[in-house]
Each structure stands twice: as C-alpha cells, then as structure tokens.
A and B are shown apart, each in its own frame.
Chain A
Amino acid sequence: MTQEQALEFIQINAVAMGLPTDNTRLERAASHFIRTQAMAQLLDQVDCPADLEIAEIYCPKQLAP
C-alpha cells in the first residue's frame, strides 16, 4: 500500500465516519495507518480456522461464586 493509497482510504472513510477531513491531519493519520497495515499483513498470515472464536469477555450471566 502506498502513502497515496493510504491517504485515499483515510479520506473516504473519514467522510463516512463524520471525522474532520483537513488534509494535513489526514496525511498524518495515513502515515500511522500505513504502518499498522504492514503489521496487519503479518497477522493476516496466521491461519485461523473458521470455528476459532474471539477471546471472550461477554458472559450471559455471572456464575455463582
């Protein structure tokens, strides 16, 4: 992903989420985004079977102590 592509992604999604769209700020956010995207690519290579659920916090009812 290039800096320009990251900036384009950030611009479009900032509009969708109702976030400020001044270019200087979006460029800085895009710089962070592109670093995170590189990390996310590494994580994406991990094989997760379909039945692997997310780590849980939700609990429908507290168990009795």
Chain B
Amino acid sequence: MSLHNLSSADIAQGISKGSFSASEVLQSSLDRIEATDKKVNAFTAKHVDRAIQKAQSIDALRASGASLPPLAGVPFAVKNLFDVQGQVTLAGSIVNRHHAPAKQDAFLIQQMAAAGAVLVGSLNMDEFAYGFTTENTHYGPCKNPHDTTRISGGSSGGSGTAVAAHQVPLTLGSDTNGSIRVPASLCGVWGLKPTFGRLSRRGTFPFVNSIDHLGGFANSLDGLATMYDAMQSPDALDPGCHVKKVEPVLSSMQHGTQGLRIGVLNGFFEDNASPQAREVVATAAKALGVHAQVQWPDATLGRIAAFIITASEGGALHLDNLRHRIEEMEPLSVDRFMSGALQPAAWYIKAQRFRRIYRDKVNALFENWDVLLAPATPVSAPVIGTDWLEIQGQTLPSRAAMGLLTQPISFAGCPVVAAPMWPSLNDSLPLGIQIISAPWREDLAFRVAKQLETLGICHLKKVEL
C-alpha cells in the first residue's frame, strides 16, 4: 500500500485501526519527499527529529488504548513564514537568516499538533509573500508537479506543490491577495482561504497586516475541513482574529445544496478569464444546475485598493531592509517594495476608506446569494520565467495577473474554497474554481464543494514524478 497517496481521513483511520502506525506513515512521507523534492523543490527544511518524536507519541497513545485526535499521525508541512520552534522563520528570504530562531510554534501549528498532526517540514514561497509564482531566486523556483517546467503558483507555492506531489496530505499557507487560491488552482489541489479574522495569524511573518489570512491545502475535501476545524480558536493575542467561538464545518458538509442560492460571477470575472477558466466554471455551474449570472460590485476598484494597500504596507514593513540590505532582496519583487514604500499616504488612506464602502456592497450582495462561483486563476500554470500573459486580448504582467480574480474577493474578506478542476482544453493541467460565500459562512462554501466532489467534478489527479 502506498501510504503517501492516502487522504488524512484514511491515514487517521488506518492508524486508529492498527492497519499501519504513525511512524510508518511518517517514513512513507519522508521517503516520498526524498524521492521527489529534487524535481519540484517544495521543501526548504525538514524537521525530522521532531516529526519522529511526534509520530512515536501517537503510536504510544494508540497502544495505551486512548482515543486518538482527528488528525492523529497525519503528516503536514507549513509555508516557511510560520514560526517553527528552534528554526529561523525565513519567509522566503535570505535577509531573515540572521534572525533568532523562533521560541515557539505558530499558533496554528500548535492547533494542528493538538489534533495529532505531525509537522515534517517548511516550504518554499515567494520572498515575503510578495508574488503569485514562487520563482524564488534564493531557493530556486518551486515547480508544478503536473509539469515541472511550469510554476506552482504563489506565494504559497511549496504548499500547493507538496500536496499535489503526494509528499504530505495537508499543508498550511497564507493568502493576502490569492496566495493560497492561486497555487491550489495551478497545482490541482483543495485550498481554503477562510474569512478574514477567522484564524489566528500569531507566530507568522506578516506581509500586509490589514489583508493577511492564513489557511490550508489538502488532497481531500474532508481533510481540508478537518484541518480547518482543528485550527479554529479565538485568540485575543492576534488583533486581527475576530472570532469568539469555533464553528466546525465537517459535520454539515453532507447537507447538500438544496435551497442554496448559487450564482456565477460575470463581468470582471469573465473579462479576465481564459476560455479554460470559463470552461471550468461553466462545468461546475452545470453540474449544480446553476444558471444565474451575478455582478460582483466594484471588482476593479477592489483590486486596485488591495494592490495599493499591499504595496504601501509591504513597503513600509520592509523599509529597513530596503535601506540597508536591498542587494539581498528578491530581484523579482524588490522594485515593487520600493515603489510601495514611496506611495503617497493619500492613496493608502483612500484605499482603506474605500474598503468600508466595498465591504457594505459585498455584504449587500450576499443578502441575495449564498454561494458564488468564479475561476481561481485566469489561466493554467505558465512556464517558469513567463513575463507576460495574453488574456482576452490584453497583454498583462504575468506575475501580477495570476491574482486578478482572487484579489477582489479577499479584499472583501470573504471565505473561499478553491476546488481542483481539469479543463478539457488543456493538456492535463489543472485550473481551479473559487467557491465563495459570505463572511463567516465557510460552511456554505464547503457544502457546495462537497456536492461538486460527490458529483466527480472536483478531484485531484495522480502525478508522475
């Protein structure tokens, strides 16, 4: 049996039944990483000793007859902007190499550990999360397991690739403007960007405080939901964590889509989508029996405001690096950081004020709809090094354009399940959809995702590496 192909539910169940041990699952994952990572470059560090200890503790727990937690023995890995105790938090940079090692794990890693999951390593990303391609100059580009000449997407590229390459069934990432949804789409795996303020960001290296979200990737929808439920908790120590209670989704996923008001986003989300991107949304809509077309309010302005806030906050955060260590920064993003640091304050303030109007309009939209569908990326994965994309007759900078369709959604803070799909017009390359719901209603997005999975519309594909 190939343990590295199993879903997190199958792993936890197999360990619980005694079909295999947590230590065997861990070894299978480490072997898979060893065999494949030279080809895809997802991992920047492996945490073998602590992983062995954790797996042994799960095996001991089972031997004692105690009940096992929901992710017992499930290997996972994290984008390398998550603090891992005893490790330096790189955030994709070499600048941070001089920082002191983290004193404790990030909050979400603690939550995963409490649920029994086994941390095996840290993952490649765009430097300081400013990018959609993970063409990291310092650590090398992360490669798409479905075609290693192509990008994995970013900035959580290692997180998408590690799941698609069957190295681990679960990974954690961050998403400011699309950094979970873009790699999920391009790598053909499940992804979740929850509501802004749902999951604590404590113990992660920030990019844009006012838009940063954390979330995850999985090789099964059940795994994504179990992981999400395990990570939820109020956290008064993250000023951006707004929740007061845990709202699990796993138990309600099977409720179906009966009675849900589902629509397809048109306008901006069609105008900036390739034929393949339109096809996958049409396929999902047809399977769900959805015909309604819905206009997202002010999508262009929402993207612009997110773009400006990102540049300003990102540039300000790295002002000292720009002043003193600019030669060590990522060549693909350093000029954007510099430009952002010099933007007039009036642009930033206007964008933040506009966000309030925007939020009200998006909330009003969801008074009439429960779930909305849109492509996650305009195109499938471009070849590494691509500078420009042609989308609907427009020539756009490739590295920014990959986030065109995700940026307006996250700026409103809405939760999104990114679902893996496979356009017929492509040569086996995935292109995912966004299943979007109102703020704090992740449960509805999961219900629609479950329906699409059950219908066989959304699924992973095996890769040959």
Contact = CB atoms under 8 A, between A and B. Distances in A.
Interface of A: 9-10, 13-14, 17-20, 25, 28-33, 36, 39-40, 42-44, 46, 48, 52-55, 57-59, 62, 65
A48 B350 contact: yes
B355 interface: yes
Interface in B18-74: none
A9 B338 CA distance: 13
B398 interface: no
B353 A17 contact: no
Closest 5 CB pairs of A and B: A54-B352, A32-B339, A55-B355, A28-B335, A29-B338
B434 to A, nearest CB: 22
A31 B352 CA distance: 24
Contacts of B359: 55
A53 B356 contact: yes
Given A17-B319, A25-B335, A48-B350, A33 B343 contact: yes
Contacts of A58: 239
A18 B323 contact: yes
Contact of B308 (A13, A20, A43, A54): A43
Contacts of A20: 322-323, 326
Contacts of A57: 209-210, 239-240
Interface string B166-187: 0000000000000000000000
A54 B342 contact: no
18 contacts: A14-B342, A17-B319, A17-B342, A19-B338, A32-B338, A33-B343, A36-B347, A39-B304, A40-B350, A44-B350, A48-B353, A52-B357, A53-B356, A54-B352, A54-B356, A57-B239, A57-B240, A65-B245
Interface string B399-423: 0000000000000000000000000
A33 B326 contact: no
Contacts of B244: 65
Contacts of B308: 36, 39-40, 43
B304 A62 contact: no
B205 interface: no
A10 B339 contact: yes
Interface string B360-404: 000000000000000000000000000000000000000000000
B444 interface: no
Contacts of A9: 342
Contacts of B441: none
Given A36-B307, A57-B210, A29 B356 contact: no
A20 B319 CA distance: 11
A7 to B, nearest CB: 11
Contacts of B338: 10, 14, 19, 25, 29, 32
Interface string B322-343: 1100100000000110111111
A43 B351 contact: yes
Contact of B342 (A29, A44, A53, A62): A29
B301 interface: yes
B140 interface: no
Nearest to A20: B326
A62 B338 CA distance: 35
B311 interface: yes
A33 B339 CA distance: 5
Nearest to A65: B244
B342 A10 contact: yes
B94 interface: no
Nearest to B234: A65
A10 B340 CA distance: 10
